[in-house]
Amino acid sequence: MAARIQIPKQAKRGEVIEVRIVIQHDMETGYRHDDVGHLIKRNVINAFSCRYNGIEVFRADLSSGISANPYLQFYTVAEASGEFEFYWIDDEGRQGLERQSIVVTA
């Protein structure tokens, strides 16, 4: 599952930074049929979380009501240099994990 992540490479301590992520995923609703009329089983990313130096700063419970190739944008306060960890899992148990680092200056 490919993903694109955008966070600033550098930030000042205490600054509110923008976090953006796009994940490649069909977010299959469970209401569509294939070419021969069979219902396609629901398979959506149902849980997403973002940890910043090990501490969860954002979490989302998602459903078929979120568009295919889900896009999320949220905020967090730059506290210290370190790593962002993005994790998600879909109905079939497939997981995604991406990391991105940030440098925080005084």
Partner 1 sequence: MRRRDFLAGAAGLVALPALPQAARAQVTPLDPHLWAITKGVPVSKGRVRLELPQLADNGNSVAMKVSVDSPMTANDHVKGIHLFSDRNPVTHMASFHLGPRAGKAEVSSRVRLAGSQRVTAVAQFSDGSFWSDTAEVVVTLSACLDES
Partner 2 sequence: MKRGCTAAFLALACTVALAWAQERSLPLDQLKSGSAFLGQDLRTLQADEFANPGMLWVERGEKLWSEPAGKANRSCAGCHRDGSMRGVAARYPKIDAASGKLLNLEGRINLCRTARMGAEALRYESEDLLALTAFVARQSRGEPLSAAIDGPARVRFEAGRIFYHQRRGQLNLSCAHCHDANWGKRLLAETITQGHPNGWPAYRLEWQTLGSLERRLRACLSGIRAEMLPYGAPEYLDLELFLAWRAQGLAVETPGVRR
Handedness of CA 3, 8, 10, 12 (dihedral sign): negative
Q: Within 10 A of 32 (CB to CB), how many other CB atoms are there? A: 12
List contacts with partner 1 (CB under 8 A). 16, 27, 29, 31, 33, 52, 55, 57-68, 70-77, 79
10 binds, among partner 1, partner 2, none (CB under 5 to 8 A by kind): none
Q: How far is the CB of 75 from partner 2 (least distance, A)?
A: 15
- To partner 1, the closest distance from the beta carbon of 75 in angstroms equals 4
